[in-house]
Amino acid sequence: MAAQPVLEHTGRQRLTVEEWRVLERESHNVKHEYIDGTVYAMAGGSQAHSGIAVNLIATLHTALGDGPCRVYNSDVATRVSTSRSTYADAAVVCSEEGSVARREETEIDSPRVIFEVLSDSTERIDRGRKWDDYRGCPSMEEYVLVGTAYQRVEVYRRTAEGWGMFHIHGPSDEVELLSINVRFKVAALYRRTDVPQTAPE
């Protein structure tokens, strides 16, 4: 989903985290990401984006089973630092105790893997500001970008040397996420969508 800056409901230039939480509780039709005191309204996505996101959540939910990790969709905010919360298309949070760290029922903490489904309106942000934020989140181990123009999945992974792109997967490939011990076929994410297998000519 694309984010657009909006005027804060307090009439001030910036919001505190608590003021943002009040805004989210009172705003029933629009969600807002919180970036260093500025809030950004989230716009709707395309049919392809929605279909891929649904397939992604279903695939991860099945693959994770009853283990210590759980997947969440963009209904909850993912807190990546003390001053930044985003609505990722999917985020996986793990806990050895089987419970999920959260500040409120509408937020999750300490994501291990974040997934963004790309679109024309979001790709620059997902590869730019959000990617910068996610790399700075100490719990993050993998970042996954899922294409909508054609069937392509990119996996980035944190190592002792830092972050790097480890794999680009095509329609016949299988994705392996080491941090959550999950494997799935790229084709599963594009089931019942009209997304072409290869880049248009």
pLDDT per residue as tens digits for the range 12-41: 458 887 787 777 777 766 676 677 777 776
| pLDDT (0 to 100) of residue 4 | 44
| pLDDT (0 to 100) of residue 101 | 47
3-state secondary structure labels for all residues of the chain: CCEEECCCCCCCCCCCHHHHHHHHHHCCCCCEEEECCEEEEECCCCHHHHHHHHHHHHHHHHHHCCCCEEEEECCCEEEEECCEEECCCEEEEECCCCCCCCCCCCEECCEEEEEEECCCCCHHHHHCHHHHHHHCCCCCCEEEEECCCCCCEEEEEEECCEEEEEEEECCCCEEEECCCCEEEEHHHHCCCCCCCCCCCC
- Of the two residues 116 and 42, the one the predictor is more confident about is 116
pLDDT per residue as tens digits for the range 165-195: 789 999 999 999 999 999 999 999 999 999 9
pTM reported for the whole predicted model: 0.79
| pLDDT > 80? residue 137 | yes
> Which are the contacts of 182, defined by CB distance < 8 A and separation ≥ 6?
60, 63, 64, 176
Q: Domain 45-189: give its CATH superfamily.
A: tt1808, chain A (3.90.1570.10)
Q: Which segment, 51-60, 73-82, 156-165, is predicted with the most confidence on average?
A: 51-60
| pLDDT (0 to 100) of residue 96 | 59
Domain ranges of the chain: 45-189
Mean pLDDT calculated for residue range 48-72? 96
| pLDDT (0 to 100) of residue 13 | 59
